[in-house]
Amino acid sequence: MERAEAAALFTPHAAEALEAFGVRPTRLELVSLSENVTFRVETTSPEETYALRLHRPGYNTRAELLSERMWTRALREAGIRTPEDMTAGNGDSFVAVGSGEETSRLAGLTRWIGGDLLSTRIERAVRADETLEALRGLGALTARLHDQTRAWRPPEGFSRRSLEVETLLASTSSWGGFWRHPRLSRADQRLLAAAGRRLMRRLSACERTPDTFGLIHADLHPGNVIVQDEGPAVIDFDDAGFGWRLYDIAAALFHADAPEAERAFLEGYDSAGAVRLETDLLALFRLMRALALIGWLAHRPELDNSERFEALRVRSLSLAGTCLSRY
């Protein structure tokens, strides 16, 4: 779906949601068309700028979305900046808007967090040490999230998905069925399937402890971190669930896997005082991330494009070969 088409389709539903939240916008701008349809909402007051998300049907239940809010509030209490959520006039955190399979969605509103995306800072870096310093900061931030969830006890009713490899890559998962992607050749499918089986066997033998497994963001790449003078802020908790902490690191480093980049990230992780993770399995989790991304695109052809997929395909085949030879 083209952006202009999406804006025409969803802007009326965004207006419907804002009325329920008691917000009178002066400007609505479609800023993201991915897992959700996200609008930037401006009002007469610069301090009252919001992010409105129309959540993809069938991805997160209302209970799971409410649980996301529970965690982001707990993170703010722990000193980690996350979007401040708003409630509608009736006290609900989410309101139903639209009708029909494509447009019927739950809408949630948070305050807009200004600043630069960490990914933008990295792209604009003119020196290698600037990029490495950004990755050290991302490593430290990831460690802080992991420490918070080791100590936090989710309240009764908390519900988020399982990110066990068998669940994440299952054919019924929104991230699964990677072998169905139409642009994979039969040879590609065979190699990735063999590596996927090896991945599952290897991880099934790993011990799950609070240090290695727990609630994770699961998409904590530089595009989901906003840099501010007050410190970094984390956004986009849609994929959060219970999984391996190394998967969080694999997601953060998926597009920055040069040895020096990995070292910088882990230096930042260690500097935050978190429990050190055994990173000898990191290549396995990079493969897990790659297979999940292929499955994700297979479920969302409207977001797929040949250039994006080809880069992912090549990367995935390389990781599959590494997995089969090393593990």
State whether 73 and 178 are in the same domain: no
State whether 22 and 106 are in the same domain: yes
Asked which of 91, 112, 133 is the last residue of a domain, the reply is 112
State whether 39 and 95 are in the same domain: yes
Q: How far apart are CA 251 and CA 110, in angstroms?
A: 24
What would the pLDDT profile of 182-215 be if each residue is shown by its tens digit?
Answer: 999 999 999 999 999 999 999 998 989 999 999 9
Q: Give burial (CB, 10 Å; 0-12/13-18/19+) of 163.
A: buried
Strands 50-54 and 116-117, sheet pairing = unpaired
The number of folded domains in the chain is: 2
State whether 43 and 88 are in the same domain: yes
Asked which of 112, 130, 146 is the last residue of a domain, the reply is 112
* Strand, coil or helix: 105: strand
Please choose, from the candidates 35, 76, 66, the residue with its C-alpha nearest in 3D space to the C-alpha of residue 53: 35
**Contact 21/109 with Cβ under 8 angstroms?**
yes
**pLDDT at residue 148 in the model:** 96
**pLDDT at residue 145 in the model:** 97
State whether 125 and 251 are in the same domain: yes
Residue type, 147: D
> Where residue 242 sits, what CATH number does that domain have?
3.90.1200.10
State whether 159 and 35 are in the same domain: no
pTM: 0.93
State whether 201 and 243 are in the same domain: yes
State whether 170 and 237 are in the same domain: yes
State whether 60 and 188 are in the same domain: no
**Contact 26/43 with Cβ under 8 angstroms?**
yes
Q: How far apart are CA 237 and CA 276, in angstroms?
A: 24
State whether 101 and 130 are in the same domain: no
Low-confidence ranges of the chain (pLDDT < 70): 1, 101-103, 274
Please choose, from the candidates 69, 72, 34, 27, the residue with its C-alpha nearest in 3D space to the C-alpha of residue 50: 27
Helix (H) or strand (E) holding 41: strand 37-42
**pLDDT at residue 266 in the model:** 93
- Residue 314: domain span: 117-326
> Where residue 30 sits, what CATH number does that domain have?
3.30.200.20
Asked which of 112, 146, 168 is the last residue of a domain, the reply is 112
State whether 105 and 129 are in the same domain: no
State whether 156 and 96 are in the same domain: no
